[in-house]
Amino acid sequence: MGLFKKEPPQEEMPPEDSAEQHKSLVNIFQDRNLLKRKLDEAEAERAVLRADVEDLRKRHDEVQRQLANLEKMLVDPERGQSAILYYRLRAVWDTCRQQLKALAEELSTRQEQLERERHGELFEQRRAAQIKDLQRLVDILERDRHNLAGGIVAMQQQAARLKRFWQKKRREALEIQIEESREKLIPIDKRRAELLAKIEQTRKAPAQTFGGIGIPARRAINTALLALAQYLYLHFTEHSIAEMSRSAGMKPVSEVNYGSANDCMGITANLWEVVMKLKKDTTRAEKLKNRSDYLRQKLTYANDTESVPEESSLDYMLPFSPNGANLDLTVNAIPVNVVHLNYWDIQNILLKSPEKPEQAAPSVKGVAAD
């Protein structure tokens, strides 16, 4: 008997079982990575939701604080009148702001429709011109092909008549010319097919995306908005309503104090008087037109792509003539900049320049004739 016992050979795993096990491990790792990505996304979403909840909580606490302060003000007979006047002045601020927003939306919508239609018309004109140029090239090729094919037919007929043995050289020369002419048809047919494909591509090419209102239109709309903002400011300078409404539009109610109850009642009466005058102003349209014409000549811009004028060009404004709609050029201009002071929230209403540069004219890409 030997000193070492021979161990039985180990059974090898079949190749198909090994491949199956490898595939299963790969699937497990893929599932693990997928679950990890979903977990990371869920964690990120939860963090965002937590931040939103915290923000809402802070805003709720602030509203509750303001409400408590307002209740305290209303309980006090003196300060209660200030609170009521505050919201009436806020109404003036909000009304003027809404008038500016409504004008901006109306003019922007109208101008966008016009420029969008013009954009589409220019694109179709460019498309039609390119198709016309391509079709002209196709017609030239077809004419050349027709002449070449006609020459081939004529040479074939001539060669068919040369049946005598002494006409062999002439017949062979004609056959060579026929073959050369046939070879010329190949590039003509290829070029014709390319042009026809370009024509079809041009017909199906989608219109370029409309890039929005152009800079000249944005400037014109902003000029109208600035004219309205200055008109409203000048109207509400009576009894200093403009300054008080700006203060109300930019401060919480707890930070204002308009004096005694009698003072507040007097301001309220003045406010009502000025608001009624605004409603009854029959020269408003003429005033806005005259002021827009004046601003159009006066405003300056930092560069050709800027739609909002430089603030320095608005440092002064001319008042209207007494009992008239024209600007009074005989008096000193008022040193008030409605944009710098952000009257009626004008800074957020003015139309800014588009982020991407606008293209001068729409075009059909990639279909020009070679």
pLDDT of residue 295 exceeding 70, the answer is yes
Q: What are phi and psi of 320, to 5 degrees?
A: -85, 155
CA distance 123 to 50: 49
The pLDDT of residue 357 is 47
- Among 178-182, 242-246, 338-342, 366-370, which is the least confidently predicted range? 366-370
pLDDT in tens, 192-230: 898 888 888 888 888 778 778 889 999 999 999 999 999
Contacts for 210 with CB less than 8 Å, ≥ 6 apart:
115, 116, 119
Which pLDDT score is estimated for 237? Answer: 92
pLDDT, residue 366, reads 37
What pLDDT score was predicted for residue 176?
Answer: 86
Count the neighbouring beta carbons within 10 Å of the beta carbon of residue 112: 15
What is the model's pLDDT at position 260? 83
* Helix-helix angle 241-250:261-279, to 10 degrees: 110
pLDDT at residue 15, rounded to an integer = 59
Q: Which position has the token pair 């954009």? A: 119
DSSP 209: P
How far apart are alpha carbons 239 and 221 in whole angstroms? 30
- Nearest to residue 347, comparing CAs of 279, 253, 246, 234? 246
Q: In one letter, which amino acid is 6?
A: K
Q: What percent of the chain has pLDDT over 70?
A: 85
**What residues form DSSP beta bridges with 334?**
317
Q: What 3-state class would DSSP assign to 320?
A: strand
> For all residues of the chain together, what is the average pLDDT?
83
pLDDT band at 170 (very low <50, low <70, confident <90, very high): confident
What average pLDDT score do residues 129-144 get?
Answer: 90
Task: Tokens for 98, please give them.
Answer: 């809404």
Task: Tell me: pLDDT of 6 over 80.
Answer: no
Strand, coil or helix: what is 317? strand
pLDDT at residue number 369: 36
CA atoms within 13 A on the CB side of 14: 3
How would residue 356 be classed by pLDDT, with cut points 50, 70 and 90? low
What is residue 367's predicted lDDT score, i.e. its pLDDT?
35
Across 270-296, average pLDDT: 92
Q: Could you tell me which residue, 155 or 297, shows the higher pLDDT?
A: 297
For 310-353, the pLDDT digits (tens) are: 999 999 998 988 878 888 888 888 999 999 999 999 999 999 98
Query: In the prediction, which pLDDT does 359 show?
Result: 45
**pTM for this predicted structure:** 0.66
Q: What is the pLDDT of residues 39-95, one digit of tens each?
A: 888 888 888 888 888 777 777 776 666 666 655 555 566 677 888 888 899 999 999
Q: Is the pLDDT of residue 13 over 60?
A: no
Confidence of residue 11 (pLDDT cuts 50, 70, 90): low
Those residues whose C-beta lies under 8 Å from the C-beta of residue 252, and which sit 6 or more positions away, are 66, 69
